[in-house]
Structure 1
Amino acid sequence: MANLPDLFRDVVANRPEATALVSGSHRYTYHSLFAAVETVADRLRQHGVTRAGLSDDNTAAWVIADLACLEAGVVCVPVPTFFSSQQREHLIRQAGLQALLWSEETAGLESLGHGVGITRLSDTTDPVDFPENTAKITFTSGSTGTPKGVCLSQAHLSATVLALKQRLEASCGQYHLCILPLATLLENVAGLYLPLLMGSVVRVEPLSSLGMAGSSGVDAQRLAAALNRWQPESLILVPELARLFAGLAEHGVIATGGFRFLAVGGGKVAPDLLDRARALRLPLFEGYGLSECGSVVALNTPGDDRPGSAGRPLDHIDVCVDSRRRILIRGNTHLGYLGETASQDEWLDTGDLGSLSVDGFLTVDGRSKNLLITSFGRNISPEWLESELVEALGLYQAVAVGDGDPQPSALIVASPGQSSEQIAAACRELNQRLPDYARLSSLYRLHSPLSASRGHLTTNGRLIRHHIQSDLPHLIANSDLIELTQPGGSTMAFFDRLQAETAQARTHVTSAPVIQAVQQGRMSLEGYTWFLTQAFHHVKHTVPLMMACGGRLPERLEDVRKALVEYIEEEYGHHEWILNDLQACGEDREERRASQPDLSIELMVAYLYHQIDRGNPAAFFGMVQVLEGTSIELATPLARQIQEQLQLPDQAFSYLYSHGELDQDHFEFFSDLMNNITDPADQQAIIDSARVVYRLYGDMLHRIPLTSATAPRQEVSNHAIA
């Protein structure tokens, strides 16, 4: 693959007199820009510099110096202007920098020409070994505040930029304004390299002229004035800036008609914010990335967009989600970290949790290490809940807390004009839209914002959660409590109780040998058709069981009977889908129809008929809890991996593929339905039934015929199986 300088030379040859870079009153054509780059690159070689830090505001000199380092083969280390002096010293020492490159306007610098100055550093630092082919080292501030160096190669950067070009060439416009620091890898790659490779115009201006200050300060009026003056077609935003843009547009402060593509990344984006933006003619599209993957992994685009997701992964990488919901990536990842031995793992563990839809859209829920686990065993991503809070309540800051509590709560910072009564009302409204397990029990309104000086934020504004947690008693003591539950009320919902009280029984399903066998490539055609046959024998009873249940329900559960009518319409005929799948696998459908079920399935069906007829008909919903909940986590990944292993046609997987998607909607509907069941006897009947069905359905999964053990494969499943 061609490196970036070669790719840029092709653009220069095709568009020599087209405008490439604008900064203040300076305008560079592609020819004049890269002539300046070659001059500075030659002088870097003459100075014998092989490792240089790039430290300055967004200026033309920064751009020229960065591109010159690529041209000269100098390892370039951008130095964020918002780093503290201790962080800068750490960066210089760990990277073994020989020089710092600045704008020539800084006094006392030796000039390299074209506005670029150089400061030589003493050679007292210890020798530093980089991974071979390192071209750029990007330092992230990290949750501890100590920067960590990520080593990237020219090939890595080229592949990322080309993949972005392929995805965005038709939609992102021809005029980009950099409003994030160029030392931020996302702006460096997607806001500088990408537009230049596409032959577009890049405008860079000192961040203060855009109203930006430090890592998180912004003067909204100055930013609006800059946007209206320069009218860019594309921008890269973080969620807080996206919220600011929506507010400016709502008040008519900025013109929105000229924007073609606004990318937002760096944090979870609430779907409501995306809806607001689109209504305001702001073409806001969420993406996801990390430094180890060149800053962009997945991206929504016009015409290929799913709000609430991070979009489809770029074509140059493979993305999967394993059985623990961890997002894993391979194909174009970093060379390693400074000061650490490079991992030899084929898959890079991003540290993020999420899911991957059947049609390839990646949803990112948050950091695995940040998970809150309620006392009922439900996992909550704080980043997701915080984004919902900030958007719904118009907050300045929000931190979800409550690990080990029945329900989460949150620390919040609101504007002085918001009363606690207004905040409580807005949060109660939000609670109605949230899943039961994520509904907030209380808010703690802080008197002053969380800050880096008090150890609660990194210098670029990220939460340092373990510091906040250790300081939680003090923070709560110095806050105003906003109760969200009504007097005498409870935040506990029956669906949560059902999940919690059947957790132990559920392990019999999740421990079935078939789950590991699928991951290791040991699923046989015999095993798959045996599973489908058992599925046929219980699915053919689904509608009759629902009809029997509906006929036996008492009048007080009329709403539940109505819901069963909707279920029946959706479920009718699904057993015939399974026979079609068996036929596509080479089986005789009528022979499978006439076969006998495994004893576990026969007992499961008989138990349910018995409970409906002679016990409590609500027991039927214990089966729904088991089969639809298991289907969500089992159906799609099982189908995808078996199809890959056995090379079967799509026609052999209509049941599993369809139910992985169908049952996600069903299960959300089911959870709401369960929360409307308040009679203790009905609730207990459902819990008892779910335990029995987990046992019998798990017995069936344990009996699936498998091939003998082989060496584990390297591939990882695309969805959680259990």
Structure 2
Amino acid sequence: MRDFGNARPAAPDPVSGPVMTGGLADSVFDTASRNPDLPLVARRSDDGSWIPMTAAELRDEVVDLARGLIACGIRPGNRVAIMARTRYEWTLLSCALWAIGAEVVPVHPTSSHEQVEWILRDAGCVAVVVEDEHGVMTVGSVCGSLPRLRHVWQLDVGALDDLVERGRPVPATTVDSLRRIVLPESTAIVAYTSGTSGHPRGCALSHRNLASPCDTLLAGWRHTAAPPGEQPSILVFLPFSHVYGLMLQGLCLRGGILMGHEPELSAEALASSLLTFRPTYLYAVPYVFEKLYKKFLQTAQQAGRGALFERAVRTAQDYALAAERQRLGTGPGPGFDLRLQHALYDKAVYRKLRAALGGRVCGAVSGGSPLNRELALFFAGIGILVHDGYGLTETSGGITAQPIGREKSGTVGRPLPGVDVRVAEDGEILVRGPSVFQGYVGDDHGTRAALRDGWLATGDIGRLDSEGYLSITGRKKDVIVTSGGKSVAPAALEERLRVHPLIHQAVVVGDNRPCVGALITLDPEFVAHWRGALFTRGDTPGREGRDAREENALRQEIARAVAAANCTVSRSESIRVFRVLPEPFDVANGLLTPSMKLRRDAIARRYAVEIDAMYQSASRVPRERRPEELPTWDDSDDVFRRVR
């Protein structure tokens, strides 16, 4: 068993405030007292511009809303669900609820009726805040089974304004009195796990749990989030229904970082907000970085500069790799020729890529799942060093981070100060520290199973190197065991496949099957671009010939992507068969969690027939097929008819 821990946390940076003595709402009140004119939130106006809101203005709105909640009978310890996208009202509501000692239960707005009913009943919520009429209808359809639910408030019809009006008779001193009795150990959030299989479980997270990783990161890393003398700014677009998004909100409120909210996760909305908000630091999941890279590539190809972009990508990766070896003490750094080549591409390519993100991003963090190493090197090479970190709902967010000046791509860094990490004999990652949750709501057995002698069994598998850097290889329950007894962790193969521009998502299968297979979905936008570039001007075959050529070219391209992924594993672990599916995996169809993780059980159930057909087709392939031949593609896969 390999064990690694870091020193206790250093003294907090003055910006992050004193040692915690109360609740999370104190962050707003303390900042408003020390620096009332500091912009804490930027709200978007109707014309698309961003209007800053000071700490004092935010505090006053929190107090007014808290008075309304009190007037409606919300008391300390009551649980109130928020079922909305990432928007300013979410931050306002959570701070107001924390100010009066209530507990917040985040619910993703696209959750099904069954999920909403389960969470609201399991948590015992007395009220729920929804965003629109759809949310009202969803909650209304399950109200009959929720005897504790007393209020349903709808944001888009002015519910918060009504609450403020209702709270006018309540003295502001009442809010202050309730806020002062909130303890750091009081429960602040009941965050439900993603539920990749079975019912989600409610993780009780205290104010101290949530503040701990935020304060540690602010103390050691805040100075990297903006150029010297500038206030850092973060565009928050990850859902607050996930602990990663909640951690970002905590970082901003406790660290005096300007926060903007973007509720839409579409490429167009995100691109527009990045250009107008102009953040200094980017927090995202690997999916976003993958989409950014593909968008850069598509734009370059459409401009006729695809070959230039590909050369620039290789140079960026080579430069970042040489720089990494230098800072880790294993190499001399980029040579003269590489530095010159990198400088030329910086003027011609990299500067434009940074401008597309607003022009001020000086660094980034990726979380939720491991980031592909080649992708991390690309972003580092264009001047945006991505710190890959690790955490989970039960740890209130981050428990590892890349040490400044010693970043190592392909790992999730080292344990944060005050956190201990251990890898058990079976490869499972165990952690302990101040951010580890209080337990699962109403599930003492599950809590005891997860917490073993003070160590949290994460369910993730990984390894620690000699310097304490942690690498994640997958989820323990996701490990595939083929009929031949070979154990395969699917995450690395899936990660490698997703990097290919044509591939949107991939899930590796093979439990009790003779070999490993993969279900693949295509990126419709990039497929359309790729199809348009496939035929040169003047090359106009008939429709039937065109379709056949497209289909054949796509088969070869996807097969090459699978072969490239196979290069990272042994032959017995490699993908031997695959099938392209007609629809993407996404949150709306229940195949992805809100944090963009695969719901493997749901995918396996929905595509059971396709999986069976894939393996039946493979069984007809002659056994003498040479190992170097590409994986098989069932001839029934007419992909373009599905994605047109």
TM-score for both structures, normalised by structure 2? 0.66
Structure 2 counterpart of 1:338: 441
Identify if the C-alpha distance between structure 1 residues 277 and 438 changes in structure 2 by more than 3 Å, giving closer, same or farther: farther
Report the equivalent of 1:501.
Answer: none
Per the alignment, residue 297 of structure 1 pairs with 399
**Amino acid aligned to 1:221:** E
Q: State which structure, 1 or 2, has the greater radius of gyration over its C-alpha atoms.
A: 1
- Which amino acid in structure 2 is aligned with residue 2 of structure 1? T
The reply on whether 1:187 has 2:245 as its aligned counterpart is yes
Structure 2 vs 1, CA of residues 6 and 401 (structure 1 numbering), >3 Å: closer, same or farther?
A: same
**CA distance in 1 between partners of 2:409 and 2:236 (Å):** 24
Matched, 1:155 2:218: no
Q: Please name the residue that 1:372 is paired with.
A: 480
Identify the match of residue 412 of structure 2 among 310, 321, 330.
310
Distance, in Å, in 2 between the alignment partners of 1:230 and 1:434 is 42
What are the within-5 Å matches in structure 2 for residues 145-544 of structure 1?
Answer: 146-173=199-226, 174-189=232-247, 191-205=248-262, 207-208=263-264, 212=265, 218=266, 220-250=267-297, 251=299, 255-256=356-357, 257-300=359-402, 302-332=404-434, 333-341=436-444, 342-343=447-448, 345=452, 346-374=454-482, 377-392=485-500, 394-405=502-513, 407-415=515-523, 416=527, 417=531, 419-450=554-585, 456-458=591-593, 461-470=596-605, 473-476=608-611, 488-489=624-625, 491=627
- Secondary structure at the counterpart of residue 219 of structure 2: helix
The residue number in structure 1 matching 2:33 is 13
2:66 to 26, 41, 45: 41
- Deviation per CA, 1:620-645: give whole Å up to 9, x if none: xxxxxxxxxxxxxxxxxxxxxxxxxx
Equivalenced residues, count = 469
Distance change >3 Å, CA 490–CA 350, structure 1 → 2:
farther
Q: 2:249 is matched by which residue type in structure 1?
A: L
Give 1:488's aligned amino acid. E
Match of 1:86 among 114, 122, 137: 114
In the alignment, is the contact (CA less than 8 A) between 1:15 and 1:199 conserved in 2? Answer: no
Shift in CA distance, 159/457, structure 1 to aligned 2, threshold 3 Å: closer
Question: How has the CA–CA distance of structure 1 residues 27 and 2 changed in structure 2, closer, same or farther, with 3 Å as cutoff?
Answer: same
1:16–1:459: structure 2 CA closer, same or farther, 3 Å change rule?
A: closer
Q: 1:203 to 1:473 in 2, by over 3 A?
A: closer
Q: Distance in 1 between matches of 2:104 and 2:560?
A: 51
The alpha-carbon deviation at position 482 of structure 1 amounts to 9.1
The secondary structure found in structure 2 opposite 1:388 is helix
Q: 1:115 Cα shift?
A: 10
Structure 1 residue aligned with 2:4: none
Q: Structure 2 CA distance, aligned partners of 1:452 and 1:51? A: 25
Say which SS state the counterpart of residue 419 (structure 1) adopts. Answer: helix
Distance 2:383 2:164 in 1: 40
- Residue 62 in structure 1 maps to residue 105 in structure 2: no
Please state whether the residue corresponding to 1:170 is helix, strand or coil: helix
AA in 2 matched with 1:198: G
CA distance in 2, matches of 1:36, 1:294: 26
Determine the structure 2 residue equivalent to 1:561.
none
The one-letter amino acid paired with 1:385 is L
- CA apart distance, 1:17: 0.5
CA distance in 2, matches of 1:414, 1:48: 50
Shift in CA distance, 263/180, structure 1 to aligned 2, threshold 3 Å: same
**Residues 441 and 491 in structure 1, CA contact (< 8 A), matched pair in contact too:** no
Structure with more helix by fraction: 1
Q: 1:71 aligns with which of 77, 99, 110?
A: 99
- Alpha-carbon distance in structure 2 between the residues aligned to 1:396 and 1:199: 37
Cα separation, partners in 2 of 1:94 and 1:392, compared to 1, 3 Å? same
> What is the identity, as a one-letter code, of the residue corresponding to 1:63?
T
The TM-score, its normalising length taken from structure 1, stands at 0.59
In the superposition, relative to structure 1, how do residues 239 and 116 fare at CA in structure 2: closer, same or farther (>3 Å)?
Answer: farther
**SS of the residue 1:427 aligns to:** helix
What's 2:43 paired with?
Answer: 23
Provide closer, same or farther for how the CA distance between residues 82 and 164 of structure 1 changes in structure 2, counting only shifts above 3 A: farther
Inter-partner Cα distance in structure 2 for 1:490 and 1:115: 75
Change (3 A) 1:455 1:39: closer
Q: Distance in 2 between matches of 1:450 and 1:60?
A: 28
CA contact (8 A) 1:56 1:81 kept: yes
Give, in angstroms, the shift of residue 467 of structure 1.
Answer: 4.1
| SS, match of residue 258 in structure 1 | coil
Q: Mark the CA change 1:360 to 1:459 in structure 2 (over 3 Å): closer, same or farther.
A: closer
Deviation string, structure 1 residues 313-360 (Cα, Å, up to 9, x no partner): 211321111111110111231111122114263111110000112211
Distance 1:89 1:374, change over 3 A: closer
Cα 1:262–1:482 change in 2 (3 A) is farther
Between the aligned partners of 2:401 and 2:555, the Cα distance in structure 1 is: 38
> In structure 2, do the counterparts of structure 1 residues 407 and 53 end up closer, same or farther at CA, with 3 Å as the change threshold?
same
Q: Which deviations, in whole Å up to 9, do the C-alpha atoms of 1:661-720 show, x marking residues without a partner?
A: xxxxxxxxxxxxxxxxxxxxxxxxxxxxxxxxxxxxxxxxxxxxxxxxxxxxxxxxxxxx
The answer to whether the Cα contact below 8 Å between 2:498 and 2:506 also exists between their aligned partners in 1 is: yes
Kept after mapping to 2: 8 A contact 1:238/1:266: yes
Q: Distance in 1 between matches of 2:163 and 2:56?
A: 16
1:60 maps to amino acid: Y
Residue 107 of structure 1 deviates from its aligned partner by: 2.5
CA positional deviation for 1:490: 5.4
Partner letter of residue 21 of structure 1? Answer: V
Q: Percent identity?
A: 27
Aligned equivalents of 1:365 and 1:439: distance in 2? Answer: 15
Q: Which runs of 5+ in 2 are unaligned?
A: 1-19, 46-50, 132-153, 168-183, 227-231, 300-351, 532-552, 629-644
* Matched residue SS, 2:380: helix
Q: Which runs of 5+ in 1 are unaligned?
A: 118-130, 213-217, 493-722
In the alignment, the residues of structure 2 paired with residue 482 and residue 13 of structure 1 have an alpha-carbon distance, to the nearest angstrom, of 68
Alpha-carbon offset, residue 428 of structure 1:
2.5
CA distance in 1, matches of 2:366, 2:489: 19
SS state at 1:307 partner: coil
Contact 1:65 1:116 (C-alpha < 8 Å) held by counterparts: no
**CA shift digits 1:424-456 (9 cap, x unpaired):** 233324433434443222222223334678765
Selected match of 2:188 from 128, 135, 156: 135
Match of 1:512 in 2: none
